[in-house]
Structure 1
Amino acid sequence: MIGRDLELGLALERWGQAKRGEGQLVLLSGEAGIGKSRITRALIDTVSQENPARVSYQCSPYYSRSPLYPAVQHLRLAIGIEEADDDGEKLRKLQRTKGPANPLLPIFASLIDLKCYESDALAGLNPQQLRARTLDGLVDDILGAAARRPLLFVIEDIHWIDATTLELLDQCVDRIQNARVMMMVTTRPSFEHGFGGHPIVTKLALDRLGREQTTAFIEKLGGDIRLPPTIVNKIIATTDGVPLFIEELTKSVLETHQFDRVAVFEEDHARSADLDIPLTLHDSLMARLDRLQPVKEVAQMAACIGREFRQDLLGSVTRLSAVELEEALDKLVDAELVFRRGRGSDARYTFKHALVRDAAYHSMLKSVRQDIRSRLADKLGLELTVEPELVAHHIIAARRYREAAECFLQAGRAAAARSANAEAVAHSRAPWTL
């Protein structure tokens, strides 16, 4: 955390108010790579020492038209649902996590499509009534958890949120005023929803780092290496205070030139060095990926899946053996370009930043991307738990437009059945706007 003490301090101050029963929402905005996720992570790490309750919603560009996608994914993760679980196992996990007598079980079961759960609680409700009951139930669940211990509710990348989840958050803001809940929301500046100008909302816009902060960041990344002023000045001028760019470009320079770990370079040494400084973040990221050949190809294929990807799904579109794929992913993790959760074929990975994923993706030939996306669509189309919207994204990238239209139509019907009218309309337009 360099140069973000004030922002983190303000967020922690709002957390203190929330713990006293004064519900808060902090809206953290800034351009891509400016450090929103880093501040959020620092907040989580700091308050986790107090063992609070926590709810995490991650919005996704692939599911911006899928009603309540972030809520459903959080529920599945909280319960511990795995791909191989049948309905009986899902129900056992749901009851064990939420309590067998929890009155909200019918709503949770509906969200994760548990066909085996029998209850009269939702019987006879029309789609609009079911939608209202579901939103009320999710807010009740948050307030119930906050009654037991303070709750940190993190919503990341809200600029990709679906309309129904946004309505859920509006209801949360209205109902947490006297609850021990803090909502931490991250967004890019393009997101204009103001949560009704509610008095519990604090808007916090992140600025770029100044010269002194950038220099301190470079020194921190260098460790024992003290880069010469000429190189430091080049990095400062090129990165323009964007933390992600500073980090990636500094690592790129250090990896390329293999400086002596304890050397202090003279100015004339720096002038004579042949330093090819990348001019953009994309160039810097690609330079790092190029030095990881043949691991670069694995990163590119993973980028076709999305910012988050499963190892087994990646394995279905690569010719590498399981051992070779594991080794390649280990190198990406060691380079801190992706993060891993779990091990083996069930492992899940996340690109360090959406811009890292984008750099890997756009470095591929369009024809290769098209082929991989087509194979991914065929693979995902066989998985019953995959939303048709995700399959449609891959199919349309593969230029299989008629099939994509069918998938979007299917997704639109599913949204309409839940009275998610905004999402249903968006699905109907999707094949022509993507």
Structure 2
Amino acid sequence: MCFGWPAAHEDDAERALRAGFLIVDSVRGLAGSGGATLAARIGICSGSVVADKREHEAAPRLLGELPHVATWLEGQAGPHEILLSGRARALVRGTIEVEARGERRPAGGGRTIEVLRALRPSRTVSRFDRTAEELTPLVGREAEIEALRGLWAQVREGRGQFVLLSGEAGLGKSRLVQTLRAYTAGEAHQRLVCQCWPHFRNSALHPLLEATMRALDIDPETGASERLARVEAALAALRVPLQETVPLFAAVLAIPLNDKYAAPQLSPDLLKNRVQEALIRTVMALAAQRPTLLVVEDLHWSDQSTLELLELLVARMEDAPLMVVATSRPEFAPNWPARPHLHRLALRRLSPHQTAAMVALAARGQALPEALVEQLVARADGIPLFVEEITQTAAEVWQREGREADVRKASSALAAIPATLQELLLARLDRLQEAGREAAQLGAVLGRDFTYALLRHASDRDEDTLRTGLMQLVEAGIVRAEGSEQAARYVFRHALIQEAALGSLLRPRRQYLHQQATRAILGQFPSSPSCSPSCWRTTSSRPATASARSSGSRRPGRRRCSARPTPTRCRTTRGRSRCCATGPRAPRATARSWRCSWPSARR
């Protein structure tokens, strides 16, 4: 099983792990033929594979080391055990409690693999809490911090405030919220933290109900009567009507009622409305007792019922000592009416100077050479998450080498995108349709920026398909357009997403696109290569084979899955053929390289 194919998600490794726990729980206690007890054994690893999909086959063949490592881990696992590789663990850090099993070498040789046993899911509150072990000090967010503190001061005076904090992934929205939480920690106040998840987008009110269960210390192992008693005690302390409210909470929290209460006999829509009202009354009652901070993380993944509840809450909270801080990405833009207490804060990228300051902090005291810092600043594009990840990667190499003469080695470490960023970047590319993905890949070959004219000359797609693909890239925020029509220029918003698009190509397709790009550049600049755009250097850096032999009926492409621990370049692929250097069109890809999280399981 491969999580990450046919489409990548930001949490593929976590999905694989969650599936593993569900399998173990489902099999535990079952009996097979003859009364034998069944037991599940699961191995999970993460990395890259090549998905070789042929027309007559329903599913692709996954080529590479990853499936074999997952199967080996499964063989090492005991009954009802989940073993995972060190690289898979790095992608789910904070989500589970683990037990180290040491480094082992698979049968047949090869490199050693760190092996860990997954014990149980951890009870983290938000995505940020899972990764907040060593925080780099904030840089360039002084104005936003002061704004949030000022709004909290108004909340203490009884004036409600709602803050919608938006920004690209990695800009530090959750970090700002954590800073506010730390600022209020020494004061008497209530705090509720809700986390929206992509896999619960169709579960009504899930973030708020999950926060409610956490506040009441309710888990699946708690007995039904104890759960009901905790709900009753909490609502009684808030002085809300129990006969009306307890049955509503019990209905959505799956708690059986006793003889004191009558189950609500309502239609699903009316039950939803009543539960929304009950939740709003509960939050307002909390705020009436003491100032309350309600945090809702990743609102772009919220279900519709939660959004409706928050819109109702905005309308009613103006005179309550309540502060709601909701984080979201730019694509989420709720059409809520403007109100004096509704504030929209949009985070911007760091400036080069601020980025350099953060590089110094993220290096954890190591003095990196100026040339390396300049490369890190250029590559991070002012996104704090990128700054941290690539700086730590480069700093580790620099610490091992420790000589200024080896700046080149530390710089070469930047060529590989950190595994912790792979899923985030590839998930954005996978949300595109085929025309958008192909435009992104060809544009990545041409360079960080490219003109429409150059792309059209290099592409073997018709103009309508090409424009459709570019429109998808602009709407998805992957590139920005400058100019219009035939004179348009497109720029990748992140250097790393350009590299991810380039890295999704296997060698034959990459060679073909380089050939097409070289012809297009020579066609536009036949006499003076020095007049060509910046993409000339990028395109020419990997010379294509000028062979006149046509390729076979398929071409591999490259993709990532969360299944194998090391993201190799997949240097060899089955059925590789030379790319067409003179033909008018290359065949479409049927094999791609994917980053997967791969659980291997047996009973």
Unaligned runs of 5+ in 2: 1-137, 424-496, 498-503, 505-558, 565-592
For 1:362, give the aligned amino acid. C
Shift of 1:222: 2.2
Shift of 1:96: 3.9
Does structure 1 residue 275 correspond to structure 2 residue 474? no
Which residue of 2 is the match for residue 303 of structure 1? none
Does structure 1 residue 32 correspond to structure 2 residue 231? no
For 1:108, give the aligned amino acid. F
Q: Which has the higher contact order (CA 8 A, sep 6+)?
A: 2
Task: Indicate conservation of the 8 Å contact 1:225/1:259, yes or no.
Answer: no
Which residue of 2 is the match for residue 22 of structure 1? 159
Does structure 1 residue 149 correspond to structure 2 residue 376? no
Q: TM-score, normalised by structure 1?
A: 0.63
From the CA coordinates, give the structure whose radius of gyration is larger.
2
Task: Indicate conservation of the 8 Å contact 2:359/2:377, yes or no.
Answer: no
Residue range with higher mean Cα deviation, 93-102 or 156-165? 93-102
* Match among 556, 563, 567 for residue 364 of structure 1: 563
Which residue of 2 is the match for residue 166 of structure 1? 307
Q: Report the Cα distance in structure 2 between the residues aligned to 1:66 and 1:91, rounded to whole angstroms.
A: 22
* Match among 358, 364, 381 for residue 217 of structure 1: 358
**Alignment of structure 1 residues 389-428 onto 2, 5 Å:** none
* Match among 319, 333, 337 for residue 196 of structure 1: 337
Q: Secondary structure at the match of 1:99?
A: helix
Does structure 1 residue 137 correspond to structure 2 residue 250? no
For 1:236, give the aligned amino acid. V
Shift of 1:83: 2.6
Q: Secondary structure at the match of 2:599?
A: helix
For 2:414, give the aligned amino acid. P
Q: Report the Cα distance in structure 2 between the residues aligned to 1:22 and 1:45, rounded to whole angstroms.
A: 21
Task: Indicate conservation of the 8 Å contact 2:561/2:597, yes or no.
Answer: no
Residues 140-165 of structure 1 show CA distances to partners (whole Å, capped at 9, x for unaligned) of 11111111100111111000111111
For 2:344, give the aligned amino acid. K
Greater strand percent: which structure?
2
For 1:238, give the aligned amino acid. R
Does structure 1 residue 184 correspond to structure 2 residue 319? no
Structure 1 residues 274 and 177: CA distance shift in structure 2, 3 A: closer
Shift of 1:200: 1.5
Which residue of 2 is the match for residue 114 of structure 1? 255
Which residue of 1 is the match for residue 200 of structure 2? 63
Which residue of 1 is the match for residue 418 of structure 2? 284
Shift of 1:13: 1.1
Q: Report the Cα distance in structure 1 between the residues aligned to 2:296 and 2:284, rounded to whole angstroms.
A: 16
**Alignment of structure 1 residues 262-411 onto 2, 5 Å:** 269=405, 271=407, 273=409, 275-279=411-415, 283-285=417-419, 362-364=561-563, 372=599
Structure 1 residues 160 and 82: CA distance shift in structure 2, 3 A: same
Residues 355-414 of structure 1 show CA distances to partners (whole Å, capped at 9, x for unaligned) of 9xxx998343799969739x69x9xxxxxxxxxxxxxxxxxxxxxxxxxxxxxxxxxxxx
Which residue of 1 is the match for residue 231 of structure 2? 94
Shift of 1:173: 0.4
What's the RMSD between the two structures over aligned residues?
3.2
Structure 1 residues 279 and 205: CA distance shift in structure 2, 3 A: farther
For 1:32, give the aligned amino acid. A
Which residue of 1 is the match for residue 385 of structure 2? 244
Q: Report the Cα distance in structure 1 between the residues aligned to 2:305 and 2:349, rounded to whole angstroms.
A: 33
Shift of 1:274: 5.3
**Alignment of structure 1 residues 220-239 onto 2, 5 Å:** 220-239=361-380
Residues 255-313 of structure 1 show CA distances to partners (whole Å, capped at 9, x for unaligned) of 223258xx8x76xx365555314357xx1236999xxxxxxxxxxxxxxxxxxxxxxxx
Residues 154-186 of structure 1 show CA distances to partners (whole Å, capped at 9, x for unaligned) of 111000111111111011001101111111010
Task: Indicate conservation of the 8 Å contact 2:561/2:594, yes or no.
Answer: no
Q: Secondary structure at the match of 2:162?
A: strand
State the aligned residue count. 301
Shift of 1:243: 0.3
Q: Report the Cα distance in structure 2 between the residues aligned to 1:362 and 1:368, rounded to whole angstroms.
A: 2
Task: Indicate conservation of the 8 Å contact 1:159/1:190, yes or no.
Answer: yes
For 1:372, give the aligned amino acid. P
Q: Report the Cα distance in structure 2 between the residues aligned to 1:112 and 1:367, rounded to whole angstroms.
A: 38
Shift of 1:197: 2.2
Q: Secondary structure at the match of 1:182?
A: strand
For 2:229, give the aligned amino acid. R
Task: Indicate conservation of the 8 Å contact 1:146/1:181, yes or no.
Answer: yes
Greater helix percent: which structure?
1
For 2:149, give the aligned amino acid. L
Which residue of 2 is the match for residue 422 of structure 1? none
Q: Percent of pairs identical after alignment?
A: 30
